[in-house]
Amino acid sequence: MLCFDQCSIQTQTVSEKGVTYYSALPTDDMAGYYQAMTTSKKHQAFSTMPISGKSVMAVPGIFTVYGSRLIAAGYTQADQILALYINAGKQQEQFLLQLTALTGANNSKYMMDAFLGVQAFYQHFLM
């Protein structure tokens, strides 16, 4: 979670082709601190709307190949991925390990997108 309002960070926003990029730029007192976050339309739709009835393909970072692997492993609904997140104790490392094992993913960016989407949904609806 980025702390733009509590930290002394300058922000820059760039929108391009439906994707908004938020960049935290380091200030003098942060000595090289840099963090970036991408929020896609899929992430926004997933994290701000009810999850019931959504396919596993609705989870950010889960596309055709990873989705078909999840379906083959018995994970057909997005709420099952939410349950995986909760069972992992809402811990990033544990969730990513389990999701990577299920999907056979070799791209951690997609798995991180899934984590951030599920985490945002949980924080929006269940906290």
Task: Output the pLDDT for position 19.
Answer: 54
Summary count for the chain: helices (H), strands (E): 5, 3
Kindly give the confidence (pLDDT) of every residue in the chain, 127 residues in length, as a single tens digit, with 9 standing for 90 and above: 444 444 444 444 444 555 554 444 444 443 333 234 456 899 999 998 999 999 999 999 999 999 999 999 999 999 999 999 999 999 999 999 999 999 999 888 999 999 999 999 999 999 8
Contact between 51 and 79 (Cβ < 8 Å) = yes
Contact between 56 and 67 (Cβ < 8 Å) = yes
- Length of the chain in residues, anyone? 127
Task: Output the pLDDT for position 55.
Answer: 96
Q: Say how far apart CA 57 and CA 70 lie, in whole Å.
A: 9
Task: Output the pLDDT for position 59.
Answer: 96
Task: Output the pLDDT for position 81.
Answer: 97
Q: Which residue type sits at 53? A: G
For residue 123, the tally of other CB atoms under 10 A from its CB is 12
Q: What is the pTM of this model?
A: 0.69
CA geometry: angle at 104 spanning 102 and 109, to 5°? Answer: 100
Encoded tokens for 121:
């949904």
